[in-house]
Structure 1
Amino acid sequence: MLPIDELELRRQADEHNLIKYLFNGLFKAPIHNILEQGANVLDVGCGCGSWILDMAREYPRSTFAGVDVSPVFPRTGIPQNVRFRTHNLISSDMCLPYAAASFDFVFMRNMSLAIPEKDWSVLCNELVRVTKLGGYVELFETDFEPKRRGPQFADWNDKVMFTLRARGFNPHLAPKLEEPFKNQLLGVKKCFFSLPMGTWGGRTGTAAREMWSSYLRSFQPIMAMAMGLSNDKYNKLCEEALSEMDTSDTYCNVYNVVGRRPQTSDETNQNNVATAATPVGSERSNSRLKVRDDFDGVGSCTVNISRSTTPVGSDRSNSRLKVRDDFDGVGSRKVNNVATATTPVGSERSNSRLKVRDDFDSVGSRTVNNVATATTPVSSERSNSRLKVRDDFDSVGSRTVNNVATATTPVSSERSNSRLKVRDDFDGVGSCTVRSTTLAASLSR
């Protein structure tokens, strides 16, 4: 859909670095050990090759294949464990040029503007076909309908969405990214990060703003005509739209889905999609948990984005995850970390000094997503078997940070209300999925 030119190649490289930084790594599938030992990996729609080249350098014992319709990948300086090839999926009826069960790990990112919606499920089936039994499939997709848009940007974005749909593409495919895999893969996990767009989001937001600036200009040949604008008027609209991002606190959601192909035909699909962050107002349930997630306007996040000015940081780590959260917010950091629990949400809890309804704060934004029983007292410490949590409250009696975990999941936290210094150590179930951070200086475009 987008023209393959220098601007688009630069946008792909910027997008790669942003997503790598946002998700704190190149992938989320639990395949690190296999990659270190040596695995076969496929990148579908590899573009300029940024992801596959980073992976090849990090895992020299593995072999990597990249396929794309355009030969825009590097011709020189390619690591010995990398092979690129051109292939047109649309003209080949969505068939990949590889034998069945060829790869331990199949990866695809931001292809919803390249593959018509009618072919999307066919391509997803093909990703599973070329994955080995027990291997992993992983996708990243951006939702191209950002939130909290200004009027000029909303006008442009709405017309882009209409034009893309008229041409058979679905720019709003990302929120249902897991759907084609529910009956094909096991342990499907879905999460998303809310990415700030504009200077309000610090360096991360500024970088995202530049990436969307490339989108606006890449669409010019199509959208200037669709909107009945001259090139000069279209460029002026682009500048106004970008300025609105800075003042409207615009953001977009980037989704990730990971699943494993069954080892044998006897291995049954549990059809349970674990979601690290869910759509606004949705309900998620399993046999032991029913949770109502009511998020504020910043969007279904595990860690809410705050408006930027003053950095506040925390490190959180487990065996495969280390996250640095650098927020630019003058307000307190709001952590809504959702993990498996056995008790309902939304109950009232009281003691002699405090009565709390875990829904929304005074300005209508949800501060607390706390899983607790109706009889759990709100006090300084709560303990259960292997769980001990210190609850700190701000000056107006609202919980600023609430950690949710199972009774068997160790949770340690340090919290101070002066400028909120937090140390959260979660396991893989309760790991943070959304961060609004300053872009690290070490990240190259």
Structure 2
Amino acid sequence: MTHRDRDRERSRGRDRSRGEESSQSRRFATKPRSLSSAASLPRVYSAPPSPTLRRAQPQFPPSLVLYSSISPPLPIDTLPNAVHLPRFKWVDGRGFKENGNPRYLLPNDNEEIDRMALDHYNLKYAFQTNFHAPLKTRLEQGIKVLDVGCGAAWWLKEMSTDFPNSDFKGIDLLTYPVLDLPPNVQIKVADAQQLPFPDESFDFVFQRMGNMGYSQDQWCIVMDECVRVLKPGGWIEFVEHEGHVWDAGPRTTMLFGKLAIAFGVRGVHLRYAKKLGELFHSKPLTRITHEHRSIPLGWFGRMGDLNLQVLEALLRALRPMIGAEIAHNKKESYDVLVRDSIEECKTFRSWMNVHFAYGKKPGGVEEVESENGTQIGMEPVAEMAEKNIEMAEEKNVEENNAHTTKNNSEMTKENNTVAAVANSAQAIERGNTDAVEAE
């Protein structure tokens, strides 16, 4: 072999090695390998694994605030009684918390978070407010607020932004990946039937859309807990869907009838929202208000379209848990029934009711606000009651005086009328007498 041939073979070998290196680099660039498998890498990448990769997974105590303005939570390994974060299961493509509330049939995943967001903004548009209790002035000044069953914290995030001087806390049995919370918000994993707060801790207790997770007996327990943690003079407010479609078509009526049965077997009354007034009146609350708003489904413009979209997302979210119970007939699937119901809502111009109720715990400070939230006065309840009594007495005196004056004037008028009639009669009698004498 000549020198020229040897040089040619060497150049071919260099080209071949360069091609292999370039292919390897492309392979590593598109699909990097873990450093733990260092034996399979080229010699130039061989290195002992970093000790930071062997760090244990973070653990959290049960009472630790899982979500705060620091996101994600800081790892804490030294606290006692540490437990892992809740585990989840997947059913029919949707995520659910293991060992959760057996009555609550909605999932705990990103799609549900999106549905909650749409529902939140639809309700705000329908009511033109995020709350109804007369608390705007106090919220601006700074109070403590609790959101029971806060979910993905859409209400909390917006309220805490609108009222940065107030302190907001939320509790829920489910854990949602809540990010970018304002610094005046904290969320805990807790049960609404056993609120982890001392008595008289909050000025405002709020709950929305909890009717799918409570039985009728649990409603009273939750209400008692909310009243317990409420300060004297504080307000409590509940907002709930009625769980019934009005002016519904035959398929929609059948679907919601089956839903009522499926939830009723689990002890849940879907139309409990109508009883919010009774629930509030059964507790030591004053100035109770219970009203409702009707929202269109699939008609009346953009709002109706969005409300129907929320309803459809809700019905499809229930499919993994009770879809088989409702569509037990193989010829009729749950998806078909939901699709037909959604179309019927547009055709029949269906609608739903959303109820809200609020009341005040006696004692504390009495605030008076106008409809636009402007503060008129703020005085102790005892002084306010005395003034009300004095004003009522003065009003009664004025009314009595006016009534007496009116009666006197009427009596005088009647007396004058009687006197005039008597005079007329006497005149007539005198005239008759004179006529007789003349004859």
TM-score, scaled to structure 2: 0.58
Q: Which amino acid aligns with 2:271?
A: H
Alignment map for 1:172-187 (pairs within 5 Å): 172-182=271-281, 183-187=283-287
Alignment map for 1:44-193 (pairs within 5 Å): 44-74=148-178, 76-89=179-192, 94-182=193-281, 183-193=283-293
- Seen in structure 2, the aligned counterparts of structure 1 residues 131 and 34 have a Cα distance that, compared at 3 Å, is same
Residue 197 (str. 1) matches residue 297 (str. 2): yes
CA contact (8 A) 1:150 1:244 kept: yes
Residue 211 (str. 1) matches residue 310 (str. 2): yes
Alignment map for 1:38-437 (pairs within 5 Å): 38-74=142-178, 76-89=179-192, 94-182=193-281, 183-198=283-298, 200-226=299-325, 227-229=327-329, 233-263=333-363, 318-320=371-373
How many angstroms apart in 1 are the aligned matches of 2:160 and 2:330?
45
How many angstroms apart in 2 are the aligned matches of 1:38 and 1:26?
17
Q: Which amino acid aligns with 1:80?
A: P
CA contact (8 A) 1:224 1:231 kept: no
Q: Which residue of 2 aligns with 1:6?
A: 110
How many angstroms apart in 2 are the aligned matches of 1:248 and 1:79?
43
How many angstroms apart in 2 are the aligned matches of 1:240 and 1:65?
41
How many angstroms apart in 1 are the aligned matches of 2:257 and 2:313?
17
How many angstroms apart in 1 are the aligned matches of 2:181 and 2:334?
39
CA contact (8 A) 1:197 1:251 kept: yes
Q: Any idea what the Cα deviations from partners look like across 1:52-87, whole Å, max 9, x if unmatched?
A: 00000000000000111111151x321110001111
Can you give the 5+ residue segments of structure 2 that lack an aligned partner in the other structure? 1-103, 375-439
Q: Any idea what the Cα deviations from partners look like across 1:351-408, whole Å, max 9, x if unmatched?
A: xxxxxxxxxxxxxxxxxxxxxxxxxxxxxxxxxxxxxxxxxxxxxxxxxxxxxxxxxx
CA contact (8 A) 1:73 1:84 kept: no
**What is the Cα deviation at residue 201 of structure 1?**
2.0
- Seen in structure 2, the aligned counterparts of structure 1 residues 78 and 171 have a Cα distance that, compared at 3 Å, is same
- Seen in structure 2, the aligned counterparts of structure 1 residues 231 and 213 have a Cα distance that, compared at 3 Å, is farther
**What is the Cα deviation at residue 196 of structure 1?**
0.4
How many angstroms apart in 1 are the aligned matches of 2:350 and 2:211?
21
Counterpart of 1:47 in 2: which secondary structure?
coil
Counterpart of 1:204 in 2: which secondary structure?
helix
How many angstroms apart in 1 are the aligned matches of 2:134 and 2:253?
38
How many angstroms apart in 2 are the aligned matches of 1:102 and 1:148?
44
Sequence identity percentage: 32
How many angstroms apart in 1 are the aligned matches of 2:186 and 2:173?
15
Can you give the 5+ residue segments of structure 1 that lack an aligned partner in the other structure? 268-316, 322-445
Q: Any idea what the Cα deviations from partners look like across 1:164-220, whole Å, max 9, x if unmatched?
A: 01101110100111222214110000111001011x221111001000101110111
How many angstroms apart in 1 are the aligned matches of 2:211 and 2:323?
22
Counterpart of 1:22 in 2: which secondary structure?
helix
Q: Which amino acid aligns with 1:139?
A: F
Q: Any idea what the Cα deviations from partners look like across 1:199-255, whole Å, max 9, x if unmatched?
A: x22111100100010111011123331121559822122111100000111100000
How many angstroms apart in 1 are the aligned matches of 2:154 and 2:345?
27
Aligned residues: 264
Q: Which amino acid aligns with 1:137?
A: I
TM-score, scaled to structure 1: 0.57
How many angstroms apart in 1 are the aligned matches of 2:233 and 2:371?
24
- Could you tell me which of 104, 112, 135 is aligned with 1:31? 135
Counterpart of 1:178 in 2: which secondary structure?
helix
How many angstroms apart in 1 are the aligned matches of 2:150 and 2:186?
11
**What is the Cα deviation at residue 136 of structure 1?**
0.2
Counterpart of 2:300 in 1: which secondary structure?
helix
CA contact (8 A) 2:137 2:373 kept: no
- Seen in structure 2, the aligned counterparts of structure 1 residues 103 and 23 have a Cα distance that, compared at 3 Å, is same
Computing the radius of gyration over CA atoms, which structure comes out larger, 1 or 2? 2
How many angstroms apart in 1 are the aligned matches of 2:217 and 2:109?
27
How many angstroms apart in 1 are the aligned matches of 2:344 and 2:316?
16
Q: Any idea what the Cα deviations from partners look like across 1:32-63, whole Å, max 9, x if unmatched?
A: 11111100000000000000000000000000
How many angstroms apart in 2 are the aligned matches of 1:88 and 1:104?
20
